[in-house]
Chain A
């Protein structure tokens, strides 16, 4: 089965600083990768997805992620953090095996933005 690993369960940045949230995948074939954000007491909202069309993927709210096959990584970045970015972030991979319809989530990274 495929899996993703998120390094750092908690990340704190100052407002205006670069946001970098790390995600590494484990896959022997090109994966389908996703980043989701979850605000308190809400469901998960799709930020962006990688589907092999381009290695640099732009998402909503100024976020982007770069797929690096050599590093098996799909890190999420934002040039300048805003207070409203404080949330839980999940990296996820879609299973392309015959079991079908499976999504595997990373353990999540809680982002704190310091004013």
Chain B
């Protein structure tokens, strides 16, 4: 399997900025995920897209807006974030089937100032 690519690797933004995180995979996986991870903690699920439709939203604040333009791309639009939103944001994808593992990108390190 090839990798999941996330851009940018690092992002610093002010609380009034609008920015986007991008995730891309070319493994033909139809489920894509956004996770938020704080230091020394497990990943926390934010959103799941299945066949390009939002299937899970874990009560994430509206300042985070996901988008799945096609089966290979996943975006996370950020607006009016708070300093406590600073974290590592991980994208993952997965083949159909409960025995299929998640394939993770290397994440975007976000700092909100």
**Interface on A for B, CB 8 Å cutoff?**
32, 34, 36, 41-46, 49, 51, 88, 90, 92, 94-96, 99-103, 105-108, 110
Other contacts beyond A94-B98, A95-B98: 4, CB < 8 A? A36-B104, A41-B107, A43-B6, A108-B42
**Interface on B for A, CB 8 Å cutoff?**
4, 6, 31, 33, 40-43, 45, 48, 50, 55-56, 88, 90, 92, 94, 98-107, 109
Establish whether residues A100 and B55, one from each chain, have CB atoms under 8 Å apart when the complex forms. Answer: yes
Establish whether residues B42 and A90, one from each chain, have CB atoms under 8 Å apart when the complex forms. Answer: yes
Establish whether residues A110 and B40, one from each chain, have CB atoms under 8 Å apart when the complex forms. Answer: yes
Q: List the B side residues contacting A45 at CB < 8 Å.
A: 104
Establish whether residues B31 and A101, one from each chain, have CB atoms under 8 Å apart when the complex forms. Answer: yes
Establish whether residues A43 and B55, one from each chain, have CB atoms under 8 Å apart when the complex forms. Answer: no
Q: List 21 A-B contacts (CB under 8 A).
A: A32-B99, A34-B101, A36-B104, A41-B88, A41-B107, A41-B109, A43-B4, A43-B6, A43-B90, A43-B106, A44-B92, A46-B101, A46-B103, A90-B43, A94-B98, A101-B55, A101-B56, A102-B45, A102-B48, A103-B102, A108-B41
Given contact pairs A103-B45, A108-B41, A44 touches B90 in the complex (Cβ within 8 A) = yes
